[in-house]
Chains A and B, each alone.
Chain A
Amino acid sequence: MLHKLGMTETTMESLSKRAKVLEKKPMTLAERAYLPAIFQGLSITMQHFFRAATKKQVTIRYPEETRPFSPVFRGLHVLKRDEKGRERCTACGLCAVACPAEAITMVAGERKKGEENLYREEKYAVSYEINMLRCIFCGLCEEACPKAAVYLQADKMAPPRFERDEFIYGKDRLVEPVTPDNRSKRGIQLTPEQADKLRTQLV
């Protein structure tokens, strides 16, 4: 190949056949007059105008439309309940240790008698806080959790807020809510006092 190139006087052969040979010729009168080129340009932009006016634009009008999330997207955290509606978290602290951004804190407490339908094991998290401004949404807490309690949802993000302290999410915003229908489905039975306690937690 190389000796071939040396022998022939042609330049390197184009494999894609897309290369255009440019010739530097003096401009023709039409080119120098500039007006034909202007009208050519105008017609191109006009095609875009009608395309934008008639077809659907690629723009996504954000608050009304949203781009679909990836199924492996790591968004806002949730503290799951088990099939009976009890909190799975046992406040072991492995998520807090795993967290590279030091975004998770918690206070452990002992389950009292009569709260078996609220917490799955004898130990539970009295408070559990994630600072969403520190969190880097790496998902290591999810991997570290032995009780399958903390998950990063694939369809939710921490919304913007005006105050910094509003980004510290407590149990009120992290624990999966107990709605009337999933309560009956999952067989959770709350005493009136427990219901009050839960309500104060949620508010």
Chain B
Amino acid sequence: MDFPPLAWQGVVVLVVFGVSLLIATYSTYAERVIAAFLQDRVGPDRAGPFGLLQPLADAVKLFTKEEFFPAGANRALFVFGPCLAMITALMSSAVIPFGNVLQFGDTAIHLQGIEINVGMLYVFGMVSLGVYGIMIGGWASNNKFSLLGAIRAASQNISYEIAMGLALIAVLMMSGSLSLREITFQQASDAPFVWQDIFNWNVMKQPLGFIIFIVCAFAETNRTPFDLPECETELIGGYHTEYSSMKMGLYLFAEYINVFVASAVMSVLYFGGFNFPFQSELRDWLVSSQSLELVTASNIITIVGLLGLFAKIFSFIFFFMWVRWTLPRFRYDQLMRLGWTILIPLAIFNILLTGGLITFGIIK
């Protein structure tokens, strides 16, 4: 059967879609188990072995709950809000390069939804659009708490997007490209020592930029300590106060997909993407000592790199949850002060520093 390359790419897109959903599903389980362990508890262990079927039980619960529309709510927008949040969250994972190329005869499969040369810009665009889902949902609820949560979400995301973008500019100054695949390739190294492999990752050249980026990622995904939009103690549930059943589920799901995408973006931008130490040595060894063909060896490297990227992503997801159950929530004025008077000046300083280091040839 002749299978055109575009069809392969379609399959990859579907797989990425499915994997995003699966990871988001099991993030809910992981969050509960991690929260429980951090607090000396047991966590869900009733549904299935080790409680592994808990997400299914949750899905059944959310789907069968009463669908409630508050009086005076704008019904169309009320439904549209969670849909938009979910759609934008799912779309943003399309440009992330999960792996290099798998070569089967003449067909080469890029383990990436779509390769576009403005990949990072696309992710930023999608993340910005995601705020609309929250804002529309909060506004359409006809509830002052929802509206406050939505306004907070909007102003928080706008504030932290600036610092995030400025931190990213320093990376782009080194890479000269917005393509995530290109940025990944530039972090590969053929140096024979492991420390040089890791040293080539952007996090070693941009430690300050990475800290700014990860703080902003917490704010962009509305995770603790920056979860003011849903702030239970002040705003009941924030923008999803009035939501029930699966519409509520979509909001929660979108948050976990955003966490996954943010983790993937950080792994690609700062932690070498699908590169791993000794990859060229491993390929040479497979070819020379195991007498494999170069194509097969490359495929093995690609698969190991794919697994390596997912290991990085899962570490970041774990970090997101670890921080959530450690830190208390910021106050709103503290949040704004941190964003505008600390992170943005720091990010600008980082750009100047990077520019200087590039000019004097210390990093490239």
Determine if chain A interacts with chain B.
yes
User: Measuring CB to CB, which residues of chain A are less than 8 angstroms from any residue of chain B?
Assistant: 35, 38, 41-42, 44-46, 48-49, 51-53, 57-59, 61
18 contacts between A and B (CB under 8 A): A38-B327, A41-B326, A41-B327, A42-B322, A42-B326, A44-B326, A45-B322, A45-B326, A46-B322, A48-B37, A48-B39, A49-B322, A52-B36, A53-B37, A57-B42, A59-B41, A59-B42, A61-B42
- How long is the Cα–Cα vector from A61 to B46 in the complex, in angstroms? 10
Contact of A52 among B38, B45, B211 (CB under 8 A): B38
- How long is the Cα–Cα vector from A59 to B41 in the complex, in angstroms? 7
Max count, chain B CB within 10 A of own CB: residue among A38, A49, A51: A49
- Please give me the residue from chain B that is nearest to A44 by CB atom: B326
- How long is the Cα–Cα vector from A52 to B39 in the complex, in angstroms? 8
- Please give me the residue from chain B that is nearest to A52 by CB atom: B37
In angstroms, how far is the closest chain B Cβ from the Cβ of A173? 29
- Please give me the residue from chain B that is nearest to A57 by CB atom: B42
Given A42-B323, A42-B326, A45-B325, A61 and B45 contact (CB-CB distance below 8 Å)? yes
List 9 tightest A-B contacts by C-beta distance, closest first. A52-B37, A59-B42, A45-B326, A45-B38, A49-B37, A41-B326, A49-B38, A52-B40, A42-B326
In angstroms, how far is the closest chain B Cβ from the Cβ of A30? 15
- Please give me the residue from chain A that is nearest to B34 by CB atom: A49
Contact of B40 among A35, A41, A42, A57 (CB under 8 A): A57
In angstroms, how far is the closest chain A Cβ from the Cβ of B234? 22
Q: Contact mask B13-49 → A, CB, 8 Å, 1/0? A: 0000000000000000000001011111110010000
- How long is the Cα–Cα vector from A48 to B39 in the complex, in angstroms? 7
Taking A38-B323, A57-B41 as given, write out 8 further A-B residue pairs in contact, using a Cβ cutoff of 8 Å, ordered by the A residue number: A35-B211, A44-B326, A45-B325, A48-B37, A49-B322, A53-B37, A58-B40, A59-B42
Interface residues on B, range: 10 to 19
In angstroms, how far is the closest chain B Cβ from the Cβ of A164? 27
Chain A residues near B40 (CB-CB < 8 A) = 48, 51-52, 57-58
Q: Contact mask B244-281 → A, CB, 8 Å, 1/0? A: 00000000000000000000000000000000000000
Chain A residues near B323 (CB-CB < 8 A) = 38, 42
- How long is the Cα–Cα vector from A41 to B42 in the complex, in angstroms? 21
Q: Contact mask B43-57 → A, CB, 8 Å, 1/0? A: 001000000000000
Chain A residues near B211 (CB-CB < 8 A) = 35
Q: Contact mask B198-226 → A, CB, 8 Å, 1/0? A: 00000000000001000000000000000
Chain B residues near A59 (CB-CB < 8 A) = 41-42
Interface residues of B in 320-356 (CB under 8 A from A): 322-323, 325-327
In angstroms, how far is the closest chain B Cβ from the Cβ of A132? 27
- Please give me the residue from chain B that is nearest to A63 by CB atom: B46
Chain B residues near A45 (CB-CB < 8 A) = 38, 322, 325-326
Chain B residues near A48 (CB-CB < 8 A) = 37-40
Interface residues of B in 34-87 (CB under 8 A from A): 34, 36-42, 45
- How long is the Cα–Cα vector from A57 to B37 in the complex, in angstroms? 9
In angstroms, how far is the closest chain B Cβ from the Cβ of A61? 7
Chain A residues near B39 (CB-CB < 8 A) = 48, 52
- Please give me the residue from chain A that is nearest to B323 by CB atom: A42
Chain A residues near B325 (CB-CB < 8 A) = 45
- Please give me the residue from chain B that is nearest to A38 by CB atom: B327
- How long is the Cα–Cα vector from A45 to B318 in the complex, in angstroms? 13
- How long is the Cα–Cα vector from A43 to B204 in the complex, in angstroms? 23
- How long is the Cα–Cα vector from A42 to B34 in the complex, in angstroms? 13
Max count, chain A CB within 10 A of own CB: residue among B37, B41, B325, B327: B37
- How long is the Cα–Cα vector from A178 to B243 in the complex, in angstroms? 58
Chain A residues near B36 (CB-CB < 8 A) = 52
- How long is the Cα–Cα vector from A45 to B224 in the complex, in angstroms? 15
- How long is the Cα–Cα vector from A48 to B45 in the complex, in angstroms? 19
- Please give me the residue from chain B that is nearest to A46 by CB atom: B322
- How long is the Cα–Cα vector from A51 to B41 in the complex, in angstroms? 10
